[in-house]
Chain A
Amino acid sequence: MELTHHIDPNDLGPNGKAEKVSAGKLHAAQYIVAFILIILITGLWRLQVLGADNFRALAEANRIRKVPILAPRGRLFDREGRLLVDNYPSVSCYLLREQVKDLDVDLPLISQGLHIPIEQIQSTLRRYQIAPKYQPIPLKQDISPDEQAFIAAHRDELPELETLDEQRRLYPRDGFAAHLIGYVGEVSEQMLDDPRYAFYSPGDVVGRSGVEQTYDALLRGKDGSRDVIVNSHGKELGHLGQELAVPGKDLKLTIDLDLQIAAEKALDGKNGAIVAMDPHTGEILAMVSRPTFDPNQFSVRLTKNYWNEILNNPDHPLLNKSLQAQLAPGSTFKIIMSVAGLQENVAQTMHVSCNGGAEFYGHFYACDRHHGAVDINNAIPYSCDTFYYTLANRLGIDTIAKYATSLGLGQKTGIDLPDEVTGTMPSTAWKLKTQHDKWFAGETISVGIGQGAVTATPIQLARALSGVANGGVLRRPHVVFADEIPPDMLQAVRESFPGSGDATIPLTTENWQLITDAMANVTSSPIGTAYAAHLEGVDFAGKTGTAQVIGHDALAKTSKGHNTEPNAWFVGMAPRRNPDIVVAVLWEHGNWGNNSAKLASQIIDAFVNKQRKRDNNIRIATTPEPAKPETIPSATPTVPSAE
């Protein structure tokens, strides 16, 4: 045999002294191995021979059943502590796979007794295949007394059936505030694959939209469990210990029940959205979206019929239109135009003669009437298109976009609710990026009146216009008070809902007063577009908007019975400067901005009445009177004196 090559670092010959490990050590190794094995055998002997009877008894008794102790979900209250969402006790039936002797034999009986089709039970079982054996599988919720009796009567034949007292969610009726509150449901397969839901297991009930989803971690609390030892017949022998449930946290929402009721009423039978907000803080006071849905139907086993009804409704009841309807803002955009024009020192000196429109770049752009001589002071109450076409043309798209973006258009506001959309604020860069095309000066003209490529959501408009009325201070809208939330969770929520948040834009006092006075004239002056919504004795300001849904040519081809009336917008606030409340109304196909203004005035009215009542039941005055500090404990005159 040939020598194999190998290195020999010590230059020791093939028969060198150190070429072998000493035999003694290898013998020692054999003894060590034997010794270790003997120790292990002794351990086995101790358990399997000496302790066998004891352990056998334990194994027999070792039918540990985890009986969950469910944490009640936190309730939701309005800002004054009035209950919005509660829980109610209900009984559910679960199946314990550990107790099943022969499922094929038991299935027909279970199906008959609990009135569940066999196929449905089988598909439920399939869904839980990956869950640990001891985890009970929910078969039916809200079972009837008869079904409870059936389970009790068949204890011996069906030891696998187990009832559990649970708390179920009880939502307000008729879809009241449904979009804001959201609903709960079983965690879905897709959610379980999402790392954010890593700690959830199949069958967990989680918030699936609205506040229920955003604050699920706070509301859910932590389920506990009792470890009950049962013998093979399901009889309790004792329990090992228990982990108490930690109830979910009750949350106080920023909404005001009275205003929410007023807003719900205002939109009754219409499609659209209303959002009311406190501009000083960004607290949402009311939020309505129509059509709505019934969260109660979602929290118990959702029926296919109801689901289909919701899915096939062309008006998308599940959409929260306050945050998810991105539509042309129409003339409400003129406030943003005014800010841009005044801050750029262009609008102050602009005088336009309106003859029902004007021509730009070879196109005639129409105005809805002959306004005659128009300047910035009356352009807003008139809502004169000609003026804003001209202003837009002077400013150019990128200047407009700069101001609109600083006021939050084209980006999320960062409200703490899921699925907010951004809307669009066009600019030369935007067009290049999205359509790889350059911006034409002609396109700027329609943007000047909030048409064309610009779209916004009601919440964006509420924040932007209240920011203007606030002297340039914009707030992040939110529906839960920050002090209700632990700091780390607050941080997490802010990070998960990025947006423009809190911001301040430059706005000179002069310009601020000019714009807010002009907005007040929209409702208080007979020339204003929303004089119909005038509230006696209330300093109510705002801006209407009427936005076309579809071009008239396309209309004939595609309408197919769809409603094609223009969308009616109104954003209003009271009082005109540093307002206490701002209301944005979107009435889809509401036809005319002042229709929406009337809806907004209902909410403002409710708000003002409430303030008056709170301020020591002052009788509703026909003319605003200055408040007398000596008669009012909380001397905050809310009704402005006539200026």
Chain B
Amino acid sequence: MPRLSSYRDFDWVLLGFVLLLSLISVLEIKSATLHTKFHGFDHKQIQFLAVGLVLMFIVSLIDYHRMLDIVHWAYGISIVSLVAVLIVGTKVLGGRRWIKFPGGIHFQPSEWVKLVLIVAVARYFWGLAGKELTWGDIGKAAAMVVVPMALVLKQPDLGTALTYLPILICGLFLGGIRFKQVGLVLLALAMIGGIAWKSGKHLKPYQQARIDAFINPDSDPRGSGYQIRQSLIAVGSGGIWGKGANKGTQTQGDFLPIPYTDFIFAAFCEEHGFVGALGVLLLYFLILMRLIQNAQTASDLPGSFIIMGVVAVIVFQIAVNVGMVVGLMPVTGIPLPLLSYGGSSVLFTFLSLGIVMNIRMRRFVN
């Protein structure tokens, strides 16, 4: 057990940035739900944040090597829970994503599997430390990530399934994949993607429609195209300074779809303009730099791997979500970490931060 003095080594600066973003998140959720039936979600978000913080501190206390020790069990349980959710999950909006426990707790396994995968990939590459990656190694790593991904796709939850990819990519990158191998992997992926797109088997009609709408937003003014269009109008009309808190006509007038989760950044851009958006992106930049710094100072290889896995997931989510909001990416339904409303998202972020703190606090051990 670490001595309490280890809390000197707790990354208070990082936590400060995170809390600042969380505050922005609460205020924007409040604004975006002002005149809707979701009024009061800001209070719920505060509750999620509180639980997240407590969990973060708890997780930071348990030596992350213990997690590495038991990760294969956790991985097994993950796969079982993903299969279970397909069988006994609660159906919401056409997807089976939640397992309902007595006491009204809805558990979404695909979120915490993300965390398990980060640790599992770290442990896997730790085992391969210092040797050249063979095709077999790459294949195993890929299988490790692709199996749960396929299960989540079955739910179907394209957004969450996609967030597993950066964990694999990051692992391969740090694990020493060679350029030649990268080329071949990309080629294989492109072929698989091409075949899947042609056969359309792996994309639900609505997912195809989203991509079509992204390519040509006016082709489908009511569906996904409508969402993108409304998002662009919200962001663009915010201008440099924004329309002011609670004054976004797109956000308040119900034109912007789900302005408290997937499109919260669009709502923020409308009300706080380019300046506000820059501020938020700067905060993200500081948080990410701070995380990478912690990866540099980690005491051992799996520590760095875990932190970089967290970085990869967060960067990916920011890129895809903000990219969607500004019209650079199709609509995928991936929330923006630390900003979007939602218990699963908040808990994932804070749990991963807990592990990061944990690794940082033990950086001088050894």
A residues in contact (CB < 8 Å) with B: 1, 3-7, 9-10, 12, 14, 16-21, 23, 25-26, 29-30, 32-34, 36-37, 39-41, 43-49, 51-52, 54-56, 58-59, 62-64, 98, 129-130, 132-134, 227, 240-241, 243
Distance in angstroms between the alpha carbons of A499 and B285 in the assembled complex: 67
Question: Given that A36-B319, A40-B281 are contacting pairs, would A26 and B65 also be in contact in the complex, using a CB cutoff of 8 Å?
Answer: no
A sample of 9 inter-chain contacts (CB < 8 A) reads A30-B289, A33-B311, A37-B281, A40-B322, A41-B281, A48-B238, A54-B236, A98-B254, A132-B254
Contact of A55 among B235, B255, B288, B364 (CB under 8 A): B235
Distance in angstroms between the alpha carbons of A12 and B273 in the assembled complex: 53
- The reply to whether B285 and A37 contact each other, CB–CB distance below 8 Å, is yes
- The reply to whether B236 and A133 contact each other, CB–CB distance below 8 Å, is no
Contact of A26 among B69, B237, B308, B326 (CB under 8 A): B308
Chain A residues with CB under 8 Å of B126's CB are 9-10
CB distance from B7 to the nearest CB of A (A): 15
B residues in contact (CB < 8 Å) with A: 37, 63, 65, 68-69, 126-127, 129-130, 173-174, 221-222, 230, 232-240, 249-250, 253-255, 269, 273-274, 277-278, 281, 284-285, 288-289, 292, 295-296, 300-301, 304-305, 308, 311, 315, 318-319, 322-323, 326-328, 362, 364-366
CB distance from A28 to the nearest CB of B (A): 8
Q: What DSSP secondary structure best describes chain B's contact surface?
A: helix
Question: Given that A47-B235, A48-B235 are contacting pairs, would A20 and B365 also be in contact in the complex, using a CB cutoff of 8 Å?
Answer: no
Chain B residues with CB under 8 Å of A59's CB are 233-234, 236-237, 249-250
- The reply to whether B255 and A62 contact each other, CB–CB distance below 8 Å, is yes
- The reply to whether B254 and A134 contact each other, CB–CB distance below 8 Å, is yes
Most chain A Cβ neighbours within 10 Å, of B233, B278, B281, B296: B233
Apart from A44-B269, A62-B250, what are 11 other A-B pairs with CB-CB below 8 Å? Answer: A3-B365, A16-B130, A21-B304, A29-B292, A39-B328, A40-B318, A41-B281, A44-B281, A47-B236, A58-B237, A62-B255
CB distance from A36 to the nearest CB of B (A): 5
- The reply to whether B295 and A21 contact each other, CB–CB distance below 8 Å, is yes
Chain B residues with CB under 8 Å of A3's CB are 365-366
Chain B residues with CB under 8 Å of A240's CB are 221
CB distance from B270 to the nearest CB of A (A): 8
Distance in angstroms between the alpha carbons of A51 and B327 in the assembled complex: 13
- The reply to whether A18 and B235 contact each other, CB–CB distance below 8 Å, is no
Chain A residues with CB under 8 Å of B232's CB are 47, 55
Residue on B with the closest CB to A98? B253
- The reply to whether A48 and B240 contact each other, CB–CB distance below 8 Å, is yes
- The reply to whether A48 and B274 contact each other, CB–CB distance below 8 Å, is yes
Chain A residues with CB under 8 Å of B295's CB are 21, 26, 29
- The reply to whether B311 and A40 contact each other, CB–CB distance below 8 Å, is no
- The reply to whether A5 and B65 contact each other, CB–CB distance below 8 Å, is yes
Contact of A12 among B129, B284, B288 (CB under 8 A): B129
Question: Given that A4-B362, A49-B240, A134-B254 are contacting pairs, would A37 and B308 also be in contact in the complex, using a CB cutoff of 8 Å?
Answer: no
Residue on B with the closest CB to A28? B173
Most chain A Cβ neighbours within 10 Å, of B129, B174, B250, B364: B129
Distance in angstroms between the alpha carbons of A55 and B239 in the assembled complex: 9
Distance in angstroms between the alpha carbons of A47 and B126 in the assembled complex: 44
CB distance from A228 to the nearest CB of B (A): 12
Most chain A Cβ neighbours within 10 Å, of B174, B288, B326: B326
CB distance from B144 to the nearest CB of A (A): 16
Question: Would you list the 7 A-B pairs with minimal beta carbon distance, nearest first?
Answer: A55-B236, A18-B129, A18-B130, A133-B254, A6-B65, A43-B326, A59-B237
Chain B residues with CB under 8 Å of A64's CB are 255
Chain B residues with CB under 8 Å of A48's CB are 235-236, 238-240, 269, 273-274, 277
Residue on B with the closest CB to A25? B174
Chain B residues with CB under 8 Å of A25's CB are 173-174
Contact of B277 among A7, A44, A56, A241 (CB under 8 A): A44
Contact of A40 among B130, B234, B253, B326 (CB under 8 A): B326
Distance in angstroms between the alpha carbons of A58 and B234 in the assembled complex: 9
Chain A residues with CB under 8 Å of B365's CB are 1, 3-4
- The reply to whether A21 and B305 contact each other, CB–CB distance below 8 Å, is yes
Question: Given that A33-B292, A58-B237 are contacting pairs, would A227 and B285 also be in contact in the complex, using a CB cutoff of 8 Å?
Answer: no
Distance in angstroms between the alpha carbons of A239 and B270 in the assembled complex: 24
Most chain B Cβ neighbours within 10 Å, of A25, A47, A59, A243: A47
Distance in angstroms between the alpha carbons of A6 and B299 in the assembled complex: 12
Question: Given that A47-B327, A51-B236 are contacting pairs, would A4 and B65 also be in contact in the complex, using a CB cutoff of 8 Å?
Answer: yes
CB distance from A160 to the nearest CB of B (A): 13
CB distance from B155 to the nearest CB of A (A): 19
Distance in angstroms between the alpha carbons of A56 and B284 in the assembled complex: 27
Most chain B Cβ neighbours within 10 Å, of A23, A32, A39, A43: A43
Chain B residues with CB under 8 Å of A10's CB are 126-127, 129-130
Chain B residues with CB under 8 Å of A5's CB are 65
- The reply to whether A36 and B235 contact each other, CB–CB distance below 8 Å, is no
Residue on B with the closest CB to A13? B366
Chain A residues with CB under 8 Å of B240's CB are 48-49, 52
Distance in angstroms between the alpha carbons of A30 and B126 in the assembled complex: 22
Question: Given that A5-B65, A40-B323 are contacting pairs, would A52 and B237 also be in contact in the complex, using a CB cutoff of 8 Å?
Answer: yes
- The reply to whether A56 and B326 contact each other, CB–CB distance below 8 Å, is no
CB distance from B82 to the nearest CB of A (A): 25
